[in-house]
């Protein structure tokens, strides 16, 4: 049997890491049929690649405000755990 305290601790740690490393950006473009696009990081102004696998079911449109973390991809940094920010 899995210890519930351990599961809760791991969930809390994952959330804490997400909020510490979360970045904000604006969708530059996203091609749904090809499954990729770019997000402009609001802090650095740099574009970061985003693949459909990093969207967690979100649908991106040009101009959407998003939160994400950066992860090392095969060819450099990619946006992951992307969430659209709804005001």
| 3-class secondary-structure state, position 77 | strand
18 has a pLDDT exceeding 70: no
Whether the pTM exceeds 0.85: the reply is: no
CB 28 within 8 Å of CB 62: yes
85 has a pLDDT exceeding 90: yes
Q: Are strands 65-73 and 36-41 parallel, antiparallel or unpaired?
A: unpaired
Which domains, ranges and CATH numbers included, belong to the chain?
Answer: 23-84 (2.40.50.140)
For the stretch 35-54, pLDDT in tens is 999 999 999 999 999 999 99
| 3-class secondary-structure state, position 61 | coil
> What is the rounded distance in angstroms from the CA atom of residue 22 to the CA atom of residue 7?
22
Tokens of 82: 């992307």
The better pLDDT of the pair 22, 65 is held by 65
> What is the rounded distance in angstroms from the CA atom of residue 5 to the CA atom of residue 9?
6
14 has a pLDDT exceeding 90: no
């Amino acid at each position: 049997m899995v210890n519930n305290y351990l599961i809760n601790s791991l969930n809390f740690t994952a959330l804490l890491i997400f909020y510490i490393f979360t970045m904000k950006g604006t969708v530059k473009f996203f091609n749904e049929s090809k499954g990729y696009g770019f997000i402009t990081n609001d802090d650095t102004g740099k574009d970061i690649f985003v693949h459909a696998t990093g969207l967690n079911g979100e649908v991106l449109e040009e101009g959407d405000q998003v939160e994400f973390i950066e992860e090392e991809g095969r060819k450099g940094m990619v946006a992951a755990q992307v969430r659209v920010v709804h005001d």
